[in-house]
Amino acid sequence: MIYLDNAATTSPKPQSVINSVSNAMRKYSINSGRGGYKTARDTEEMIYSVRDTVATFLDAESAENVVFTQNCTTALNIALFGLLKSGDHVVISPFEHNAVLRPLNQLAQIGVEYTIADCVADMDNCKKAFERCIRKNTVAVVCTHASNVCGAVLPLSELSDLCREYGLHFIVDGAQTAGILPISVQKSKIDCLAVATHKGLYAPTGTGLLVTDSTPNPLIYGGTGGDSMSPTQPKEIPERYESGTLNPVMIAGIGAGVKFVSPMQERIYKHEMRLLKIVENEFKKNSSIKTYTIPNAKIVPVLSFNVEDKTSSEVAMLLDRYGIAVRAGLHCAPLAHKTLGTLDRGTVRFAPSVFTTDSEIEYFLKCISKISK
C-alpha cells in the first residue's frame, strides 16, 4: 500500500518508535507514581525524561508544563472547557477542526460565544481580521496553527502579539504542525498548545499532548498518585490533568518520535513540500482536477483536490483499488470546507510523509491521470 493519508496519522512509524514501544512493554508496564519499588521509579524517570524531551523540542518553560493526553482533541477540550465560562467570547479561525468547533458549540449552551475571523481574503493582514472580532467580553483567541484541509498556516507570532495587547488567552491547535514547523511555546506566548503526537512527531496513535502554563479546570478528577488524603484535585501541573493510570508504553513512543524528528525537522518539511509541489504542478496541467489553496498563505504539506466529474469518495475508492490510501470527505472540518466552498462534496486530501518516495508519487500521479480520464 502507498500511504498518503499522513495528515490523519503518519504511517509507517520509524523503527526506533516501534523498538521503543516494544521495549517499554517489557520494561515499563507499571502504574507509575503508585509504587516505591525500583521498576515504578524507573518508569517515573522515563516518563519525566519524555516530558523534558518534549519541553525542549517545543520550547516550553519546563517539563512540568507537558501533560500527556489521549489525543489532541482531549487536550483542546481541557483548554476550552477548563478556561471558558458563561458570558465569555472567543475568536476562532475559519479553518477550525471539530475538535474546537464542537466543544464551542457545546459551551454555547451555557452562554459562551464565538466569532469566526474572516482572514481568508487577506492572509497578510490576519491579525487585523482577528482584532476586528474582539469584544469587551472576549477572553481568548483559539486557532489551528495550520488547516488540516488546505494546509494554510496562521501567523502565531502576530496572533500572540494581539493576545498580549488585549490580555487574552492564546489557545493553539498544533495537530498539523508539531514536528513539521518549528513551534516555540515561550516565544509565541502560547497559553495552551494541543499536539497530535501521532502525526508529525511519528508517535503511536492514541497519544497527544497539552503544553500549558495556565491552570484550566480539569476535565477528569481522580487519583494522581500523590497527596491521596486530599479530597480535591491537585493544582500542580501536570498532575492536575493526569488522573488515573498513565500509559508509559505509548509515552515511551512519544519520546522516541520526538527524538526521530528533532534532528531533521527542516529536512522533513523540505522533502514533503518538494513532493507536494510535484503533485500540485502536475495537477495544474490537468483541467479535470481542481485544487484548493488560500492565496498568499504559507502552507504545510497538505493538498486538497477534486476530480471534475467524480465525488471525493469515488476518487478515494478508485485510488484504493490501485493500492493508494488517501482520505476523502470533510476531514472532521466542515468549517474549513465551508470556507473553501467544498462543503457539498468534500475533497480528496493528499499528505506525504518523510517515508514517501518519488516513485510512489510518480505512481500516484499516473493513477490520478487514469481516474481523471
- The three three-digit cell numbers of residue 137, written as one number: 467580553
The residues of the chain that CATH labels 3.40.640.10 are 15-263
The residues of the chain that CATH labels 3.90.1150.10 are 2-10+264-372
CA torsion through residues 48, 78, 225, 34, sign: negative
Residue with cell 469587551: 136
CATH number at 15-263? 3.40.640.10
Residue of 100 and 224 predicted with greater confidence = 100
Determine the pLDDT at residue 212: 96
Determine the pLDDT at residue 334: 97
- The three three-digit cell numbers of residue 277, written as one number: 509541489
What one-character-per-residue DSSP string does 34-87 give? S--SHHHHHHHHHHHHHHHHHHHHTT-S-GGGEEEESSHHHHHHHHHHHH--TT
pLDDT, the chain, mean:
96
**CA 48 vs CA 33, 255, 290: distances in Å:** 11, 10, 47
Q: Does position 114 have pLDDT exceeding 90, yes or no? A: yes
Q: Does position 226 have pLDDT exceeding 90, yes or no? A: no
Q: What is the mean pLDDT of residues 131-160?
A: 97
Lowest mean pLDDT, pick from 94-103, 216-225, 316-325 = 216-225
Lowest mean pLDDT, pick from 28-42, 92-106, 256-270, 299-313 = 28-42
What single-letter DSSP state applies at residue 174? Answer: -
Determine the pLDDT at residue 124: 82
Determine the pLDDT at residue 108: 98
Q: How many helices (H) and strands (E) does the chain have?
A: 11, 13
Tell me the per-residue pLDDT of 173-214, one tens digit each, with 9 for 90 and over: 999 999 999 999 999 999 999 999 999 999 999 999 999 998
Determine the pLDDT at residue 121: 78
Determine the pLDDT at residue 30: 85
Which residue, among 166, 226, 165, has the nearest Cα to 34 in the 3D structure?
226
pLDDT band of residue 291 (cuts 50, 70, 90) is very high
CATH number at 2-10+264-372? 3.90.1150.10
Determine the pLDDT at residue 122: 78
pLDDT band of residue 18 (cuts 50, 70, 90) is very high
Q: Does position 277 have pLDDT exceeding 90, yes or no? A: yes
| CA–CA separation, 134 and 121 (whole Å) | 19
Residues shown for the chain:
373
What single-letter DSSP state applies at residue 320? Answer: H
pLDDT band of residue 31 (cuts 50, 70, 90) is confident
State the CB neighbour count (10 A cutoff) for residue 309: 8
Q: Cβ(203)–Cβ(256) under 8 Å?
A: yes
Q: Does position 115 have pLDDT exceeding 80, yes or no? A: yes
Determine the pLDDT at residue 36: 80
